[in-house]
């Protein structure tokens, strides 16, 4: 592997930080979920890079499981968004203050 491992780690760090910023900054719940996908993808890049580096296929198996969890998260998350939109006809996180005191 001519590309050093650290390059992959830096790339995945950048993508993960972008995802964190998206979750913290945006108002739209859909964009927040997309940012969570970004973070999951960053960890997947890490897993695959380490799998190649250690010549261990277990990292790729874990990416497989992360993919499963991502699919489940999207299905449930989008169902919650649809239910929220039905209740308040908005999906901005500012508007949902039921649990705030």
52 in contact with other proteins (CB under 8 A):
yes
Buried (b) or exposed (e) across 51-69, using 16+ Cβ within 10 A? bbeeeeeebeeebeeeeee
- In angstroms, the CA 29 to CA 77 distance is 9
27 in contact with other proteins (CB under 8 A):
yes
Chain residues binding other proteins by CB under 8 A are: 1-3, 6-7, 10-11, 13-15, 17-22, 24-28, 30-31, 33-35, 37-38, 41, 44-45, 48-49, 51-58, 60-61, 63-65, 67-76, 78-83, 85-86, 91-94
């Amino acid at each position: 592997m001519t590309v050093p491992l650290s390059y992959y780690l830096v790339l995945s760090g950048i993508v993960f930080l972008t995802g964190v910023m998206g979750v913290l900054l945006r108002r739209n719940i859909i964009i927040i979920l997309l940012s969570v996908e970004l973070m999951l993808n960053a960890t997947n890049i890490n897993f695959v890079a380490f799998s190649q580096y250690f010549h261990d296929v277990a990292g790729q198996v874990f990416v497989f499981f992360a993919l499963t969890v991502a699919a489940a998260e999207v299905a449930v998350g989008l169902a919650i968004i649809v239910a929220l939109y039905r209740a308040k006809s908005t999906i901005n996180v500012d508007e949902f203050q039921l649990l705030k005191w």
